[in-house]
Amino acid sequence: MQVKAEGIEAELGNNGITLRVKSNDGKHVGRLQVGKAKLRWYKGKTSVNHKDVSWDAFLEWLESK
pLDDT of residue 51: 94
pLDDT of residue 14: 78
How far apart CA 65 and CA 8 sit, in angstroms, is 28
Per domain, the residue ranges of the chain are 17-64
pLDDT band at 48; cut points 50, 70, 90:
confident
% of the chain exceeding 90 in pLDDT = 34
pLDDT of residue 17: 85
Report the pLDDT averaged over residues 24-35: 87
Whether the predicted pLDDT of 60 surpasses 90: yes
Contact call for residues 33 and 18 (beta carbons, < 8 A): yes
